[in-house]
Amino acid sequence: MTNAEWNQAELEQQEQSMMTYTDYIADKCHKALRLVEGGEIVLAVASVRHDATDDKLVSHTKQFVLMDINKKMYRVTVEAA
């Protein structure tokens, strides 16, 4: 393994071990929008989706879709910057 490959592997490991709050933030946003669901603007809010492949978490990104009263769909994404 070259020094560059070693450094890249160390960086990836550090990024994976860093705590992110995407679950918490997505949950709070989702719950807030569910409170106004069926009201003046928000017609429906779908469940939160996780970025997973073959039952393995690919990233910490979370998404959910909502629909306004005009039946326009919106995708809300929470991801670490």
The C-alpha atoms of residue 26 and residue 62 are separated, in whole angstroms, by: 6
Phi and psi angles of residue 55, each rounded to the nearest 5 degrees, phi first: 60, 20
| pLDDT of the residue at 26 | 95
pTM of the model: 0.70
State the average pLDDT for the chain. Answer: 87
Residue ranges of domains in the chain = 20-78
pLDDT digits over 1-19, tens only?
Answer: 787 777 676 666 666 556 6
Residue 18 in 3-state DSSP? coil
Choice between 7 and 67, residue whose per-residue pLDDT is larger: 67
- pLDDT at position 15: 60
Read off the pLDDT band of 56 (50, 70, 90): confident
